């Protein structure tokens, strides 16, 4: 799952770890110290995800540039891939639905 738990950074302990997609890779990056987690294929990962996400293109300091897609992850995965393929840094926010 995409950071369903509150992930904390292993390096600095910061609680805000961003889930990111860029150039076909999914990875996490600490918003404080910028330590990156291991990258995995976004395309492969997105097949296994469910639920809603909001995908936002962000800048170097995680400022919002534009909302790329919002909705069921399987339906927006392609739009996310496309934007990430253009070199945009896409931050994913999972919209938790009560289960």
Tell me the two tokens of residue 36: 């990156």
Per CB under 5 A, 14 contacts Zn ion: yes
Nearer to Zn ion, 33 or 67 (CB): 33
- Using the minimum distance from each CB to Zn ion, give the nearer residue, 35 or 72: 35
15 binds Zn ion (CB under 5 A): no
d(CA 16, CA 22): 19
Question: For the CA atoms of the chain, what is the radius of gyration?
Answer: 13
Q: Residue from 2, 7, 25, 32 that binds Zn ion (CB under 5 A)? A: 32
Position among 11, 40, 64, 82 found at the interface with Zn ion (CB under 5 A):
11
CA angle (46 as vertex; 40, 47 as ends), nearest 5: 115
Tell me the C-alpha distance between 42 and 74, whole Å.
Answer: 12
Q: Which residues would be at the binding site for Zn ion (CB under 5 A)? A: 9, 11-12, 14, 30, 32-33, 35
């Amino acid at each position: 799952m995409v950071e369903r738990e509150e992930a904390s950074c292993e390096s600095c302990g910061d609680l805000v770890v961003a889930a990111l997609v860029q150039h076909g890779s999914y990875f996490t990056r600490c918003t404080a110290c910028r330590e990156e987690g291991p990258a995995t294929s976004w395309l492969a990962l997105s097949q296994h995800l469910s639920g809603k996400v909001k995908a936002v293109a962000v800048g170097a300091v995680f400022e919002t540039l534009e909302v790329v897609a919002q909705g069921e992850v399987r339906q927006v995965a392609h739009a996310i891939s496309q934007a990430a393929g253009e070199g945009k840094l896409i931050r994913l926010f999972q919209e938790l639905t009560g289960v």
